[in-house]
Structure 1
Amino acid sequence: MAAAGAGTDGTVGERGQLINVAYRLLGSLTEAEDAVQEAYARWYALPPDRRREVRAPGAWLTTVTGRICLDVLGSARARRERYVGAWLPEPLPGHGAHPDLADQVVLDESVEMAFLVVLESMTPAERVAFVLHDVFRYPFAEIAAVLDRTPAACKQLASAARRRIDPAPAQAAPIARADTVRRVKEAWQSRDIAALVAVLDPAAVMTADGGGLVGTVLRPVAGGALIAQYMLAVADRAPGMELLECSVNGAPGLVARRAGVVLTVAAFDVADGRVSRIWVVRNPEKLRPWAGWTTASATARRSS
């Protein structure tokens, strides 16, 4: 799998790759970092002679990280049955916007919110097989070591996962997506419901995640007009809130902030110049990567 790193035992250079794999498997940077830390702990718990026998430490660490993630995904299913409201992946700020992320996660289409949400529909084994093969191009022979199944069985799992991905209209170019999100921001700030409805697809769906820790809708809101009404109602209840354009998981998004604290992160799907999906994360536990978020590249404007 991943090539050996530059460290004396071949593991130092592997951490970034492992974080990238684990985040896509788990949808949480916090859990990804914990999984990778556990993999390294198991590596250094091996007797020195045993570590020297491992010809590809990177492959060993990837296999162990994948198994840890598989266990986490299995237990997560039970936890999410008790979760209050919808569960969404943990959003990531753009590179350079957070001093501590150190560009750990490569921001590409495989970390956009729409893709991560689809991954949530897969079984743990399907998700591992699909992410390792289709995203990271690992051969099924090596994925078999993670899932403890035959390569043929792993191929079938990835195929089943692929069928869960509905064909979607081509995403707008980044500049067009950013322009559409900017129109949402401007309409929200000016309380212009007609402009907000115009930028939302009539069949748009908004899903919010508060985790039961903050107030938000517990079920998806369907329909552009209803979403617009909800957004304006929120704006009326949030004097002094800043709304800022930013990168969310590598795509144009919005952040709502008060007194320097990020309270809401919104990701968008855009098609034909309109917003078709909105994912709103308000659970403060999922906004930890945004603590200390800088706004050097963002445009801020008071919402009131």
Structure 2
Amino acid sequence: MKHETHLGSKLDALLKTLQQSTSEPEAKHLLTDTVAQLRATLEPLETVAPIRTIHHFACTGGTVISRFLAATPNARLLSEVDPLSPLAKGQFNPLDLSLLYRDAHPTVRAQDQIAIFLAGLQVIYARVQAQGERLILRDHSHSHFCTGRVIPERPTLKQIIAPHYPVLSVVTVRHPLDSYLSMLHNKFAHFTPHALEDYAARYMAFLDNYADEQIVKYEDFITDHTTTMAIFCSLLDLPNSSDLQNIAPGISLTGDSGRSGIALKLRERRDVPKDIHGMCERSTTYQDLCHRLDYTP
């Protein structure tokens, strides 16, 4: 399913071909009227609803933000999506054909994993459309940018989806030092080496891949979630609601690695070990990252 396909242009081409095959004026007039009626009937179907995507690093407040997005009217949010994730190898998951196939064939091609993913997404998208819902995919960017010794050369989640569906995306961030400390605390450093300089370089690569997307800060969301949710809803073409704060706590999502509770308040920074203090002072990439995101290093 490619959203670039236009029914109107196809009808015009069909009309031109049929008119060239007849010289009878009445037949040409009938063809013109028939195509006009088809156009009026089919053109409303050309409106293809977008898939919304949200992208962030681990430990940046993505779960609480995603809960609020999932709480918007008629939203259907799938949490932590990445069809090319290298994680979860060998884990019991009888529902995931892609994972089972990868475990059975360690040399499985990325394009095969993508094809399996897109086949499933097509079914989900059609069902969501039929039910009048809005599909949101929460990217598991950590799988792409924070695993292994080097960032793999592979498409992002948006690059996988965009050739087949219209996509509306947003990137969320948190102060890099806070997310780095939380990542270490939660033992999510799935990449090596995992010094602050390396983390900052991976963060930069992530931002480069989503350079065209609007960035929204976790701190702004916590400080004023009403205004920030209005921004999210505008960027993602989602209906807003005054009940989001009441609905969101009841939504269960994967990836809830943060400190307990859903209270919307800024928390004190975790203790910064002496060696990490030194990293902050020495890492030029970390300092550049903070400046890029308008944070104080």
* TM-score relative to the length of structure 1: 0.29
Q: Determine which structure has more spread, i.e. the larger CA radius of gyration.
A: 2
* TM-score relative to the length of structure 2: 0.30
Larger fraction in strand = 1
Higher relative contact order (CA 8 A, sep 6+): 2
